[in-house]
Structure 1
Amino acid sequence: MIRFLQSKDNRFVKAVFIVIIGAAVITMVITLIPGIFQNEATTGDTYATVYPHWYSRFTFTGEQVTMTRVQEVAQQQLQRQKLPDFALPYMVQRVGQQLILQKLLLAEASKLGVEANDEDVRNFLHSGQYGQLLFPNGQFIGEDKYKQFISSQFQLSTADFEKELREGITINRLRSFITSGVTVNDSEIRDQYRKQNIKIKFDYAVISADDLRKQINPSDSDLQAFFTKNAARYANAVPEERKLSYFAFNANQIPGGIPQISPQEIQTYYNAHQAEYQQPEQARSRHILIKFPGGAAKTDAEAKAKADAILKQIQGGANFADLAKKESEDTGSGAQGGELGFARHGTMVPEFDSAIFSQKIGDTQIVKSQFGYHIIQVEERQTAHTQALAEVTPAIQVTLLRQKEAQAEQNYAQALATEAAHNGLAKTAAAHHLELVDTPSVSAQGVIAGLPDGSQVIAKAFTSKQGSEPQFAQTGEGYAIFQVTGITPPHAPVFADSKAQIAKDYADERLPMLLEQKTKDLAAKAKASGDLAKAAKEAGATIKTSDLVGDAGQVPDFGQVGSVAPDLFNLPVGGISGPINAQRTGVVAKILDKQEPSADEITKNLDQTRDQFLDQKREEVFGIFVSTTEDRFKKAKLIQINAKVAKSPDQGL
């Protein structure tokens, strides 16, 4: 090989080999030196970097997932799912993983040539789910209204919205491309329908984990041995605690009293926040709804006839509100005489929205939507306008007052903390007629009895050193100025003081094994004798009987049958199951009745089942593709997580 490379007649081949060897060396460096390309993934707003190809790591052309976007989406999902604020770190982790996965799929779509383009986005906006809103009667609503709609609905710029839309279309195309070859035959469909529609009724013997727990009665020597064996587990079982000295004040104790708001300040704030006082065009209306489907009318024609009859009564002088209370199938507005209040453009279904912004004030017309027939009367419309200063002055006064109070409180707290750093907490508290309090030891999850909300004080205290300069934190009704005066590090509990918790841990460890063994013994005895009731009585289990249930049926002390024990559907009548692990119970079941769909019923539902089963198989195939793609990117080290994110306890990464 060396001689070959040294040959004067092989300059081109030599150059090729140099490139190959050079690439190999660089690849070895990347593989063998962890973190060599970590810098770009650990700075700024980057949550993660995804490299589409191995060589893109050389050119630093990775796709960025930003922390800002992860936080935005996580907050939106938190609000949409109505989850508490403390769930945010977990939502951030989940969203981060989703956005990384999205980048991987987009990279694969690019390789396979199935990316969407601008024309695809335009076509979707015209004919997709937003088509009627953005192009009513085929006419674009205009750039300004388009921007307003995207901002209000998605909190995005139009450029970002269209980018995300393009990516969504691309991933859907990728899914279609990957699953295009998936097929199902009639035999599979028939078997699937049969399995989904078998119904069974069964007796089941229940061994309760709570009942078994009562049978676990360790002696003191057993617990002491367990405590000693698990010394590492209990080494820090008692969390760190801290003692504090503090004094606190509220807004009423700030020197100078409550701040005043001048007319000039109100005017300045109003001028600087004009965008907040822009009122879009809106219309106030009322309606009477005759539902179809879902209402009393059996046919569309019957619903339309009833709506026509009500309209004639109104046109003849009948009271709209009285008819709404009597006839409307929208029970919410019907009870209010049909009143819907003011609505902005785009907040109602398209047909209703078009009507209330085009009908004459006072006119009553019938409009059909996906909900049925609406008898609509427009009562008032307001053009887009800016609220006058007089309208919003009270709200501005409240806002400015809160801002000034908050600033005054913070300034006073800072001044007291500075004074306490020179004179000590005790002298500073006395000089300002505030009470100095010494707390007992408090944990990071504890409370301070003398404060309305001591969580911020405790949080700061657990990041401070004992004897460090005084700090301040909000208390819900002002601020506290405090110092850490004592620290008790985490430690093992005294056995005598923690015997109850140790006994619980002891039982928790042994309970699963005991439940498993008891359920196995019960199943073996029941199968040997063929008598589940007798075996259950000997084992101290409770016998219950299910209803006739299918795959999705829920059974008390058991759960969803298809998830917990799918094999039950394969047993014959009289068959006895093996041990089943259910919801904190051990279960053994005996089939009493079994009903399978007939051949005619299967044939009748063949097409519907084919669509459902095909969708299911496509999802399974695409899920495997996604999982394989993710594993491949991970093995090739093409996913770089921000080191700070990875180390953050909040992210769990």
Structure 2
Amino acid sequence: MATLERIRNKSGLLIIVIAIGLLAFLLGDLMSSGDSIFRRRNMQIAEINGTSVSYPEYQSYVTELEDYYKLNSSSSALDENTSYQIREQAWNQMVQDFIMEEKYEDLGIAVTADEIYEMATGKNVHPQIRQMFTNPQTGMFDKAQVINFLQQKNLDPNANFYWLFLEKQIKKERLFTKYRELIKKGMFVTTAQAEAEANAKQNKVDFDFVVKRYSAVPDSTVSVSDSEVKDYYNAHKENYKQEATRDVVYVAFDVKPSEEDRQMAEEWIEKSKAEFENPETDAVQYVNMNSESNYIDRNLKFEQLGPTLQGFVQGASVDEVYGPYLENETFKLSRIVAIKQMPDSVKARHILVNDPVLADSLLALVKGGADFAKVARDNSSDQGSAINGGDLGWFAEGTMVKPFNDACFEGNKGDIVKVESQFGIHIINVQDKGKPVTKYNIATLERNITFSTKTNQQVYAQAAKFASLNNTVDKFDEAITADNLVKRYGRSIKTNDRTVNNLEHSREMVRWAFEAEMNDMSDIFEFGDAYIIAFLTGAKEEGYQSVAAVKGSIERKLLNDKKAEVLTAELNSKKQGNDIAALATGIDSEVMTASQIDFGAFQVPGAGVEPALVALATGSKAGELSAPVAGNNGVYVVKVNNVTANTTDVAAELAQLKQSNGFKVDYQATEAIRSKAEVTDERSKFF
């Protein structure tokens, strides 16, 4: 179906993005009632709010997204990174579906078939559908195209799948939009709130301040008991949630080319030279059949050649060979295929179409004297240049795809020609050509220096020997030191991490870490060009950090609170009326100054991020020494010297607060909903 092919090119790779940055959630249970409890648990990939979710149900989401991606990108296979992204997308969509379905039902939120049809053909067409069915000739949405597509889609399974997928995503988006709007309607900003916010911003103050930092009180003079730490922990336990993580140590035995491997690569290139430089040898064909990299048909200026070849081409002629030479761990031979006088750049315009009959018709039209620019504006599917009459301006060689490039640089000024590329059929008018310069076409034969099977086996044997002799953590540490190896660390590894540090394709190591016992040694992993041996050295389970784990940070917080009491008493005792300079002298400090600070200030120069200081300064009376107030780094006293009135608008503040609440709903609703859901993620059992 031609329409499907066209909209595929316009809809982007993953339409899933249309669903408001789709919330991120999960599935339901597919196992039949006859399955045993053991099988259910074995196939469980998640548990959401107490309901088991099976792997097959999750996989059905994945399969649907994979089919969509393949159809939309005209590809039959997915690389590892794309597969991972699709699995993540599927997980997020299903958590979204599972959690929100119940909320929609409770609130009576639904999307009818009439609404879907209205979003496809009505007055307020969904942006995705509008983009897909916009007429390229007019730039306008074409309702007739949509209706025609809907009438014919059942004749093409791919088109039908495509539409059903799009319809499903649009429906999900509309459901959540309704839910989100209900929340917004329930959020109200009072006039009193707006007035308070406006008043807080009404004044800017210039003030002096002094600070007595917590470090001025020795830790030895205050103490925090274990019971105080425990009480604080219990009162703030939600601050100490943790994910399940693992820590490992490992050693890498990198497989690198040996000296023998280097010599073999050099010998190969040297033996190839005689045949490669033979004038009867087709250099291009020889490179394509024997080199590590295929021949690239490009004509390069002297300045575009590397320093090595710049020295070679000066005075050289066609078929001369340079080398062997070493560059980026690759031995090379370079042969001059051609030396040409060609323009440095070309100015051209074009008309791009897909219909061969139309292309021939337009070619005859412009060759017959028709206004090229008008024909381009009326017919070219390259909208970026069509608006300028097809004008592409000046461009250097190699900028355009090869058929287009060759037609422009090898043609003559004024030529009007037709060529075909992967983008369609181009009708090109070569408008002007730059001054000719010498260009070199070079074929390069390459032989990379890579490790051999023998070298690989030798490194593996070394790793195996290390593993057999050092099968405990203590022995591992001793051997690392004795053999002058590098001990590496993988810290805070999460159950769904794809890699450990920068180890290539090391997901297997993550899975091992969550299955192993403390101080277990791994098998020998092969990641990229390295063999890895690891030990599990740390494990934290999902839940709450222990009191012992967070005791240090709690003690520091409580110590500062107690120091604040000591410093507050000291500052009060040293006050001499409203004389801030005398206070500074009394506490062995200095007076600092800040200007034009209002209630919305993020930080204070000389103090840093100190919300308490900002509030103290903007809330104090001018000319009076304030009471001491504890901040992040110490206890502060201020004296306001000057207050500058700001013009504030309560109505504008009210509107801004309402808008701010709307933004919060848009960007925080997802996180708020997820934080209340009980989701157990067991994907690591399967991936």
TM over 0.5: no
- Kindly indicate which of the two structures has a greater share of residues assigned to strand: 2
- TM-score normalized by structure 2? 0.42
